[in-house]
Structure 1
Amino acid sequence: MKTLLRQLVGASLLATLAFTASAAETMNEPAPDFTLKSNQGENLRLEDYRGQVVMLNFWASWCGPCRQEMPVMDDIHEQYKDLGFTVLAVNVDENTAEADRFLSAVPVDFPILYDNESRVSELYGVDAMPSTVMIDRDGTARFLHRGYKPGYEEDYVKQVRQLIRE
Structure 2
Amino acid sequence: MRTLIFTLLTSFTLAACDNNSLPTTDPTVRFSPNQSNPHWTVINYWAKWCAPCRDEIPELNAFATAHADQVRVLGVNYDGLQGEELNADIEALDIRFPVLLDDPHRALAIERPTALPSTLIISPDGAIRDILLGPQTEASLKAAMTTADNP
TM normalised by structure 1 equals: 0.62
Q: Which residue number corresponds to residue 160 of structure 1?
A: 145
| Mapping of residues 39-118 of structure 1, within 5 Å | 39-41=25-27, 44-47=30-33, 50-82=37-69, 84-96=70-82, 97-115=84-102, 118=103
* Unaligned residue ranges in structure 1 (runs of 5+): 1-32
Shift of the 86–75 alpha-carbon distance from structure 1 to 2, 3 Å rule, reads same
Partners of 2:21 and 2:122 lie apart in 1 by 16
Partners of 2:93 and 2:81 lie apart in 1 by 18
CA contact 1:92–1:121 (8 Å) conserved in 2:
no
* Unaligned residue ranges in structure 2 (runs of 5+): 1-18
Deviation for aligned residue 1:34: 5.0
Q: Over aligned residues, Cα RMSD in angstroms? A: 2.8
How many residue pairs get aligned? The number is 127
Moved more, 65-74 or 154-163: 154-163
Counterpart selection for 1:143 from 130, 134, 146: 130
Answer 1 or 2: which has greater helix percent: 1
Partners of 2:28 and 2:72 lie apart in 1 by 17
Larger radius of gyration between Structure 1 and Structure 2: 1
Partners of 1:58 and 1:35 lie apart in 2 by 18
Deviation for aligned residue 1:74: 0.6
Deviation for aligned residue 1:102: 2.2
Deviation for aligned residue 1:136: 1.1
Moved more, 138-147 or 122-131: 122-131
Q: Which residue number corresponds to residue 121 of structure 1?
A: 105
Deviations 1:39-98 (A, max 9, x none): 13467233576121111111222222212111110101111112x211011123233233
Answer 1 or 2: which has greater strand percent: 1
Partner-residue secondary structure (3-state), 1:159: helix
Partners of 1:53 and 1:103 lie apart in 2 by 23
CA contact 2:130–2:148 (8 Å) conserved in 1:
no
TM normalised by structure 2 equals: 0.68
Return the letter of the residue paired with 1:72.
E
Q: Which residue number corresponds to residue 28 of structure 1?
A: none
